[in-house]
Amino acid sequence: MKNFSLTGTYTDLYQLSMAQVYFLKGKSNDHAVFDYFFRKIPFDGGYTVFAGLNDLLETLQELEFTSDDLEYLKGIGFNEQFVSHLKTFRFRGTVYAMSEGEIVFPNEPILQVHGSILEAQIVETLLLNILNFQSLIATKAARMRAVAGDRILSDFGLRRAHGLGAYHATRAAIVGGFNSTSNVKAAHDFGIPAVGTMAHSFVQSYDDELAAFRDFSEVRPDHCVLLVDTYDTLKSGIPHAITVAKELEQRGHKLSGVRLDSGDLAYLSKQTREMLDNAGLHYVKITASNQLDEYVIKSLLDQQAPIDVFGVGTSLVTAPPDAALDGVYKLAFAYGKPRLKLSENLKKITLPDKKQVYRIINGAGNFLGADVITLQHESHQTIMHHPFEFDKSLNLKELEQRALFNKVMENGRALHEPNTLQGIAEYCQAQFKLLPDEFKRFQNPHIYKVGISEKLRDERNQLRNHYKK
Amino acid sequence: MKNFSLTGTYTDLYQLSMAQVYFLKGKSNDHAVFDYFFRKIPFDGGYTVFAGLNDLLETLQELEFTSDDLEYLKGIGFNEQFVSHLKTFRFRGTVYAMSEGEIVFPNEPILQVHGSILEAQIVETLLLNILNFQSLIATKAARMRAVAGDRILSDFGLRRAHGLGAYHATRAAIVGGFNSTSNVKAAHDFGIPAVGTMAHSFVQSYDDELAAFRDFSEVRPDHCVLLVDTYDTLKSGIPHAITVAKELEQRGHKLSGVRLDSGDLAYLSKQTREMLDNAGLHYVKITASNQLDEYVIKSLLDQQAPIDVFGVGTSLVTAPPDAALDGVYKLAFAYGKPRLKLSENLKKITLPDKKQVYRIINGAGNFLGADVITLQHESHQTIMHHPFEFDKSLNLKELEQRALFNKVMENGRALHEPNTLQGIAEYCQAQFKLLPDEFKRFQNPHIYKVGISEKLRDERNQLRNHYKK
């Protein structure tokens, strides 16, 4: 597998089966609206970071069925007229969405697709594939950033990522607050700093560690991070690194850092810092890696481990224990009418119609802790209390209410130059600062309230009563 | 992101940094051997399925640095001579490996790369990326196959998979025992049956469910699975499906099935089966989906749920709670000498030198429950008891000992036509049948023993003593 093209068949078969029915029944041009939202915050956390929008819009702009796709579809029984129709298929819909990097919460629409029911249906799977994954990883990254302060966070995950998913995992990590990556291709394509140290195998391939360090430092004397735990970190690795650092100094260079990749990172980093400082090497940075996640990083820093750079692999790019964001794409409007999916309990009922989401900002300019979903063109006057209660003493009408949805695509064309990855990451961090601390706790975080307006509630209830009959 | 090419920069930066040192120090052509192995079986299970070999070999055969890659590397500071060298880089190594689909266990080498230290180092990351992920998903799939008996297992995971990782997740699912997929692109490229039903949105887009079912069944009357839980499964969905099935019968067709996607699947499938049977529709199959995993499938079948097809998404393609196989790639030989990585405890020590792995087969032709790692050309005469004890009453020398390593690539060319995906899946199932049941339990499975020969033990101990000095 050397080349992978994201074409029209990057979808579930049933999307094409349904599209075929719409086409053959003459319904394919009818207007439909789908909501993208999720139901549960991953990691039992208090927030989710929305990521993947740029990639989605780019994919939608370029999406088409290749002749190879079309031959295949014919071969597995699709109708010839329908397949001919797919030959000219382009996504011509309109997309409203929150900004990439926005802090988002369960049950609120994050993105709406308005288009023909045929095109809106066909793109469901790739939309979910892109947004669910990147939002998951950006959220994991943001949790690490939240505890890492201004220390460097580097993605080391390519070897443990889910195959080609590694590529966008790196992008999403940057959205969530990571600084750099070991993944050269992703670094290149997304304009991210590429970083790396050395592997144990390099040290092992020499008969002694000092010789390995010397050779390595000679080639790029100003970009050298030495891995010090191949044999014995404190007895061998650090003393050898100090020797090499001194030799570099004599030649006018500075050792960039050392990397600890095993053992107790709190203990070893303190000992390492002391040994480096005693040798006058205050500028040599300490990188730590080995099974890090947000909890380990927090614990290390709680214990004042003097670590400057965290290299995070598996946990960042695979996002255990959840490993998936449960984002869904639900029909809200079709054939001129708002639509609803019922369910046995209120929890899984969907919200009909075209909508807007408002974020309430408190007097200090921070998030109050409540978003309100309204109909698209409603000026929302009152706040409904579903499914949570607000503090009645607050006069919500007097607080700033920021509309979160923007029209980002029209007739299949993106309306704006895409924000840069760096710009998205900065936006995310700026928004994250506005989120009160109680939503950032790892244990039992405060629950952000998402309410719906009275008009939207009434419309939903009417529809529900209609279907219940 | 429309096209993705797997080129030489699909690697960690440090591989290229190390390769550069080897090159500039004139060491790049020295012979090296790396072992691929993992340390922990995912999901606290008793076995792992080895997958991804064909993709790895294909990638190694085609791997090269594009001019774009080379420009980038120059731009971030790589030496010009080294970059010129990469221009002509092709992988020319030799690969020994177990068969794809083999049942494998911790700490035994599954694959060995023999080549120049430069090429063997550069391919580390992509090798780990491919093999770790596909083996993880094949293992998850095998766990579901182990409890599903001869029922159909279908991959519905594209929307929740890790971005482009979805593609090989589907392939790996087939290796582990799945039958089909909803992912059209993967189905096409890998020759897997593409399957699908319909979504709630299709039913919602009509004013009534029966009309939706009728339209859907009309277009492909012999390939129609109706989703019956949009409003009320037993009061509305199934009665409407029965109506449509009867109408199809009158036109000479048969309804393929119904799909349950919410509620208690055991209860609903029993009620559904009864209603279908009472209507004379014994041939209509029941598909179930919604948050399935190996435990839920087992529980449903333990309760005699009459489900014919399981559609599995998130849990299959993201493999929680582990979400990663911890496979590593460790130097075993370089510059004419066997190599070792020490560690604070014996657990993480590596095994030096070129090796072979033997599987011991008991008198009945099944796996005894023990593999032995030897030096490559050693006829292993005695079994070492590290780290586990064997039953001393067994005369291991009289039992069949099957060598698991084959030479699969030489001088960068695959030596055999790749096995088909179907062939690999059949091999996996055949091997799985030879694995005794006690290793297949979900709770506290029996631990498969992996020992090393006396000669290998002695060589490792000598090396360890050497490095400890």
User: Residue B92 is part of a domain; what is its CATH number?
Assistant: 3.20.140.10
Please report residues of A whose CB lies closer than 8 A to that of B5.
Answer: 2-4
Q: Is the pLDDT of residue A388 over 60?
A: no
- Asked, for residue B419, whether it belongs to a domain, the answer is yes
Q: Mind listing the pLDDT tens digit for each residue in A92-148?
A: 999 999 999 999 999 999 999 999 999 999 999 999 999 999 999 999 999 999 999
Same domain, A115 and A159: no
Q: Is the pLDDT of residue A380 over 60?
A: no
Please report residues of B whose CB lies closer than 8 A to that of A163.
Answer: 129-130, 133-134, 162, 164-165, 167-169
Q: How confident is the model at residue B382 (pLDDT cuts 50, 70, 90)?
A: low
Please state, rounded to an integer, the average pLDDT across all residues of chain B.
93
Please report residues of B whose CB lies closer than 8 A to that of A309.
Answer: none
CB contact under 8 A, B6 and A4: yes
Same domain, A297 and A155: yes
Residue with tokens 């010129």: B84
Q: Mutate one of B90, B184, B460 to test the A interface: name it (highest A CB count within 10 A).
A: B184
Phi, psi of A99 (to 5 degrees): -70, 145
Same domain, A313 and A328: no
Q: Among A318, A333, A354, which residue terminates a domain? A: A318
- Which residues lie below 8 Å from residue A369, measured CB to CB, with a gap of 6+? A360, A436, A439, A446, A448, A449
Please report residues of B whose CB lies closer than 8 A to that of A76.
Answer: 194
What was the pLDDT predicted at A398? Answer: 74
What was the pLDDT predicted at A141? Answer: 98
Identify which has the larger pLDDT, A349 or A187.
Answer: A187
Q: How confident is the model at residue B194 (pLDDT cuts 50, 70, 90)?
A: very high
Q: Mind listing the pLDDT tens digit for each residue in B422-444?
A: 999 999 999 999 999 999 999 99
Cis amide prior to A42 (ω within 30 degrees): no
Distance from CA of B323 to the nearest CA of A (A): 6
Q: Which ipTM was obtained for this model?
A: 0.96
- Asked, for residue B5, whether it belongs to a domain, the answer is no
User: Facing residues of B400 across strands?
Assistant: B361
Q: Mind listing the pLDDT tens digit for each residue in B49-81?
A: 999 999 999 999 999 999 999 999 999 999 999
Q: Is the pLDDT of residue B387 over 80?
A: no
Same domain, B220 and B78: no
- Asked, for residue B406, whether it belongs to a domain, the answer is yes
Cis amide prior to A387 (ω within 30 degrees): yes
CB contact under 8 A, B163 and A158: no
What was the pLDDT predicted at A60? Answer: 97
List the single residue in A6, A13, A348 with the smallest CB-CB distance to B182: A13
- Asked, for residue A450, whether it belongs to a domain, the answer is yes
- Asked, for residue A331, whether it belongs to a domain, the answer is yes
Please state which of the ranges A134-148, A339-353, A355-369 shows the lowest mean pLDDT: A339-353
Residue with tokens 């790692």: B373
Same domain, B289 and B406: no
- Which residues lie below 8 Å from residue A251, measured CB to CB, with a gap of 6+? A221
- Asked, for residue B8, whether it belongs to a domain, the answer is no
Q: Among A259, A288, A318, which residue terminates a domain? A: A318
Residue of B nearest to A215 (CA): B21
What amino acid is encoded at B288 in this protein?
A
Read off the tokens for A384. Answer: 């409904």
Domain total for chain B? 2
Tell me what percent of the residues of chain B surpass a pLDDT of 70: 94
Q: How confident is the model at residue B343 (pLDDT cuts 50, 70, 90)?
A: low
Same domain, B299 and B353: no
Q: Mind listing the pLDDT tens digit for each residue in A291-332?
A: 999 999 999 999 999 999 999 999 999 999 989 999 999 999
What was the pLDDT predicted at A97? Answer: 98
Q: How confident is the model at residue A87 (pLDDT cuts 50, 70, 90)?
A: very high
Which residue spans within B14-79 are E strands per DSSP? 31-37, 48-49
* CATH code of the domain covering residue A153: 3.20.20.70
Q: Mind listing the pLDDT tens digit for each residue in B88-123?
A: 999 999 999 999 999 999 999 999 999 999 999 999
Q: Is the pLDDT of residue A347 over 80?
A: no
Please report residues of B whose CB lies closer than 8 A to that of A62.
Answer: 2
List the single residue in A156, A200, A216 with the smallest CB-CB distance to B21: A216
Same domain, A200 and A113: no
Same domain, A220 and A334: no
Q: How large is the greatest C-alpha to C-alpha distance in chain A, in angstroms?
A: 86
Q: How confident is the model at residue B388 (pLDDT cuts 50, 70, 90)?
A: very low
Buried-state track B10-38, b at ≥16 Cβ within 10 A, e below 16: bbbbbbbbbbbbbbbeebbeeebbbbbbb
- Asked, for residue B43, whether it belongs to a domain, the answer is yes
- Which residues lie below 8 Å from residue A51, measured CB to CB, with a gap of 6+? A100, A101, A131, A134, A135, A137, A138, A171, A172, A175, A176, A424
Same domain, A409 and A281: no
What was the pLDDT predicted at A86? Answer: 98
CB contact under 8 A, A1 and B263: no
Range of the domain at B269: 138-318
Same domain, B123 and B248: no
Same domain, B314 and B327: no
Tell me if the pTM is above 0.80. Answer: yes
Q: Name which of A70, A61, A81, A68 is nearest A20 in CA terms.
A: A81
Q: Is the pLDDT of residue A385 over 80?
A: no
